[in-house]
Structure 1
Amino acid sequence: MIRLLADPLRQQIVELLADGPACTCHLVDDTGAKQPTVSHHLKVLREAGLVESEPYGRFTYYRLVPESLDAAAAELTALAGRARSNAGERRAC
C-alpha cells in the first residue's frame, strides 16, 4: 500500500476519489496528467484492490474501496505498535 501511494499521481487520484466516484476524463482534468497515464495508474490501483470500476453509459467510473484503506490503516497501526513496543530492544551483534 505504501508503495502504491508513494507515487504522487496515484496519491492524488486516491485523494480525488475519496470525494466520490469519477471517470477518467474527470481525473485527467483534475490532475492535468495525460489520459494514458491516468488509465495506467487506475489499472495499478484496481489490480491492488484499492479501486473498483463500474460502467455507466459510455463511461467507466472509478471509486475507492474503503475496506482496502481500512485494512491498510490497521496494518500500519499494528506496525507502529510493534515499533513502540520494541523501541528499546537491541539485537546482539
Structure 2
Amino acid sequence: MTVYPVVKTGADVSRQVLADHPDLMVVAFRFDAVGAEGALHDHVHVQSTFVQAGRFRFTLGDAVREVGPGDSFVVPSGVRHGCVCLEPGVLIDSFTPRRDDFL
C-alpha cells in the first residue's frame, strides 16, 4: 500500500492521492479557507466529485451551482470546470484514466 504525499496546489488548497491504478485514481482536495480556488481548467479525464465536507461554488461548463456535504457530480472529458470554497472542506475526486501528472 502506497502512502502519497500531500501536495500544495494553491493558496489554502492541497491534494493527496488516495489510491491509483492505470484505469482509475482517487484524490482528496482540501480547501482550508473561504475564497480558496480550484482554478478553471479542463482535461481529458472523466472526473467524479464527491463533497465530503464544506461548501463550494462550482463552474461546470456554462453552469454555476453551489454544492455541499453529500453532493456529487460528474465532469465529462474536456469540460472546463473549477470551484471557489464557500466553507472550508474536502472534495474527493475520482479520475479515469489515472492522472499521471499527479504522481
Same topology, TM > 0.5: no
Going by fraction, where is helix more abundant, 1 or 2?
1
Give the greater-gyration-radius structure (CA).
1
TM-score, length-normalised on structure 2? 0.28
Going by fraction, where is strand more abundant, 1 or 2?
2
